[in-house]
Every structure is written in structure tokens, then in C-alpha cells.
Amino acid sequence: MAAAGPASRWFVLAWGREATMSEQEPQPQLQIKADEKELLGQYANLVLIHHSGEEFTLNFIYLFPNTPQGKLVSSMIVSPRHAKRLMHALAENISRYESQFGAIPETPAPATPPNVGFVQ
């Protein structure tokens, strides 16, 4: 059987269950509805992550250059289990990326986190 492609791997990670060799049967294709706006995506250069006992909140923000202002472009709320699967999926994809394109240079984290406040 051929190896699973990126979309198939995402499906496995999203549902959190690996199939055994005896269970590998063709899965029905997952159909996801999306408008053109969602398909274009949003750019963010800052992510603020908060958590409670029940959930993780990821606020994706675009900081404007040369000004202390930004815009919240998306906010995602996920369960702790899904956050952990996301962490593993990102690590796996970064490893693949670096194997193909070389190491991603790291910038040092700021000594103090930015003081961010939300306004309406």
C-alpha cells in the first residue's frame, strides 16, 4: 500500500488515532467546505497562546511594521489533546521542511514578552 500523503497524515493527526496494518482500508474522503476567503489564508507574525484546564487559545496577530499596533487576524480555541497533536504535527512538519530546505535559523526570544492589550 502506498504511503499516506500530507492530507492523509493531517487526518490521522486530527482524529488522533493511527490505523494498524490490518485496519488500513480506504477511508471516505473528508469533505470540508470553505469560501475563497478562508482558502486564501491569513498572515500572522505573532501568536499569543493562553490556556486553562479545559482549552488552549491561540490568537494569531499581524503586527504592523514600525508601529506598536497590530490586528488580530484569527483566534482558535482547541482542546488540550488537540493542542498536543498540533504540537507534534508542527514538529514533524518542521523536521520535514528542514530536511528539504535546510535548518530554519532561530532568533532569540525577547527578554520580556510584549505587553499586548486588545481594543475594540
Q: What is the mean pLDDT of the chain?
A: 82
C-alpha to C-alpha distance for 5 and 71, rounded to whole angstroms: 34
Average pLDDT over residues 26-49: 89
pLDDT for position 24: 66
Residue 32 CA to residue 54 CA, distance in Å, equals: 26
Higher pLDDT, 57 or 5: 57
Q: Do the beta carbons of residue 62 and residue 44 sit within 8 Å?
A: yes
What CATH number does the domain located at 37-101 have?
2.30.31
Give the pLDDT mean for 15-34.
69
Q: Domain coordinates of the chain in residue numbers?
A: 37-101
pLDDT of residue 23 exceeding 70:
no
Q: Is 24 exposed, middle or buried (0-12, 13-18, 19+ CB in 10 A)?
A: exposed
Q: Percentage of the chain with pLDDT > 90? A: 52
Average pLDDT over residues 55-59: 98
pTM reported for the whole predicted model: 0.69
